[in-house]
Amino acid sequence: MIKSRMKKGATLDGFLLEELVHNGGMSCLWRVTWPECDKTPLLMKVPILTEGEDPAAVVGFEMEQMILPRLAGPHVPSFATAGDFSVQPYIVMEYVAGVSLLQRLLDLPLPYDEVAEIGVKIATALDSLHRQHVVHLDVKPSNIIIRPSGEAVLIDFGLSQHAHLPDLMKEEFRVPYGTASYMAPEQLFDMRNDPRSDIFALGVLLYFFSTGVRPFDDNDRMAAMRRRLWRDPEPPRKLRRDYPPWLQEIVLRCLEVQPAWRYPTAAQLAFDLNNRDQVKLTARSERLKRDSWTAVMQRRFNVRHITPIMKQSLPTPAFNAPIVAIALDVTAGAVEICNTLRAAAERTLKTMPDARLACVNVLKQGRKIDSGQDDEESSMHVDRLVALKNWAAPLKLAEDRVTFHVLEGADPAASLLEYAEKSRVDHILMAAFPPKSPLRRGAPLLSCVHPGGALRNERLSRGQHRIMFVAGVIANSVCLRVNFSQRISKNFIY
């Protein structure tokens, strides 16, 4: 090949090679520019394709070349172009300025708040990736860059799987590829289509970043990697006495052997990391030592423990585990609407056992500031929380399926949308008109979530009532799609 041409100052298909950034086993990374156009730095990835090299280098490169152009959003490097494989294969992509998480390893363990903050960023990035039908399958510090603007960027899709593309890795190799200490149990059985494998790897990363110790060793022999099927890691609280129970709960849930026991989606993981005071603490959070050897041996020789992982059918599709926000007006006078909404919520949750409900109320602000307002607002805040919990009580939901949020803002619609975007809410369930609307005067108003990103009111003809709808948030954007889920009056205007 024309390897000799790959040196600093040379040009390849018009790209000026400026600096060799990384020289790895499978590929070289060059910082390049396109002098004909502008001086924006780009990254060129060139696979090492010499005889006798790992064939995974070629196949991984093929996968990345297929997957990267199909991805969008701030959580991946944007794709620029690719070289002709028969001449000189390469991929040119955005040069992501920022800090690789690899550089943080010297600072471990990090403060818990910072770990949670990093966790939210990575989970948000994974959620974006999973919604684009891709499982990364090699989540680890060296594959994550934090942009100066704060978003996590996932890089290196050589081991990834795209649900809408042929999985060349799986066909080519009979051994699992990945990074030993981050690999999920199901990956050892060649399962490559479950987004929850990335949640496991993120759990390893969070454990490592918060304790300074990896939960599983980096021995990549199959026998050593299989130990994680039955041997549980040391609970973080044993390693750091002040380890917060909510973080241990989250981290150990990510590290569950059975994918079904982990978070169903990265969005739900991010949600818990964002709402640590509402994480439902189970026995996981209290664990101070590893399971006894008898328990481990029972798992080791119990076929039923392993079988579900090996025989795991299709993973839970993300749309079966949505975050449903329900916008509630809990002030007096809205009782009937709240009851109707409860019935709608009940039906929604019944059909999707992994869905979780976020009960949201907006406390309108913007009044004149005067003394004593803080106390008053704080008391109103508590009152609203109490009312939300009271509303949800008849649903009899498990603690880990429901959370309560009182938002504050001058514009309730904007607050609700901002919350939905930040919490990666899939659907918003809301009444079509507020109780204090001119409905009582005979002209009902429909508040509808508009694709423009703001709530707007639409005047409806006389006699219409109780129109409800679900709005789905399209990932990465405030743009909302309106799906009408309930009975809609025939004169509905939208």
Partner 1 sequence: MQYLHNTYEFNSLQIACNSITWLRNAENLITIELHSGTENASMLIALLSDIHANRPALEACLAHAREQDTERFVFLGDYVGYGSDPEWVVATIMEFVNDGAVALCGNHDSGVALNNIPLYPEVQTVTDWTRGQLGIDEQRFLANLPLTVHEDDRLYVHADASAPADWNYVLSVEDASRSMKATNSRLTFCGHVHQPAIYGLSSTAKVTSFTPTPGAPVPLLRWRRWLVVLGSVGQPRNDDPAASYAIFDTDTTEITFQRVPYDIEAAADAIRKNDLPNWFAERLYLGK
* Site for partner 1, rule CB under 8 A: 55, 59, 62, 65-66, 84-86, 163-168, 171-172
Classify 43 as helix, strand or coil. Answer: strand
CA dist 16 and 223 (Å) reads: 46
CA dist 156 and 262 (Å) reads: 24
In the structure encoding, which two tokens stand for residue 100, read together?
């690789």
CB of 69 to partner 1, least distance (A): 9
CA dist 245 and 248 (Å) reads: 5
Considering beta carbons, is residue 1 or 97 the nearer one to partner 1?
1
CA dist 51 and 486 (Å) reads: 62
CB of 171 to partner 1, least distance (A): 4
Asked if 415 contacts 428 with a C-beta cutoff of 8 angstroms, the reply is no
323-327 and 427-431: which strand pairing? parallel
CB of 6 to partner 1, least distance (A): 20
What residues are paired with 73 via a beta bridge?
A: none
Handedness of CA 388, 278, 318, 418 (dihedral sign): positive
Considering beta carbons, is residue 171 or 375 the nearer one to partner 1?
171
Classify 339 as helix, strand or coil. Answer: helix
Asked if 201 contacts 139 with a C-beta cutoff of 8 angstroms, the reply is yes
Considering beta carbons, is residue 173 or 484 the nearer one to partner 1?
173
CB of 421 to partner 1, least distance (A): 26
Considering beta carbons, is residue 85 or 261 the nearer one to partner 1?
85
CB of 164 to partner 1, least distance (A): 4
CB of 70 to partner 1, least distance (A): 8
CB of 484 to partner 1, least distance (A): 21
Considering beta carbons, is residue 165 or 363 the nearer one to partner 1?
165
Handedness of CA 47, 52, 54, 60 (dihedral sign): positive
Considering beta carbons, is residue 69 or 409 the nearer one to partner 1?
69
For residue 1, give the nearest of 49, 61, 45, 57 by alpha carbon.
49
CA dist 186 and 256 (Å) reads: 11
Considering beta carbons, is residue 67 or 387 the nearer one to partner 1?
67
Classify 356 as helix, strand or coil. Answer: strand
CB of 159 to partner 1, least distance (A): 16
What residues are paired with 44 via a beta bridge?
A: 30, 92
Considering beta carbons, is residue 167 or 458 the nearer one to partner 1?
167
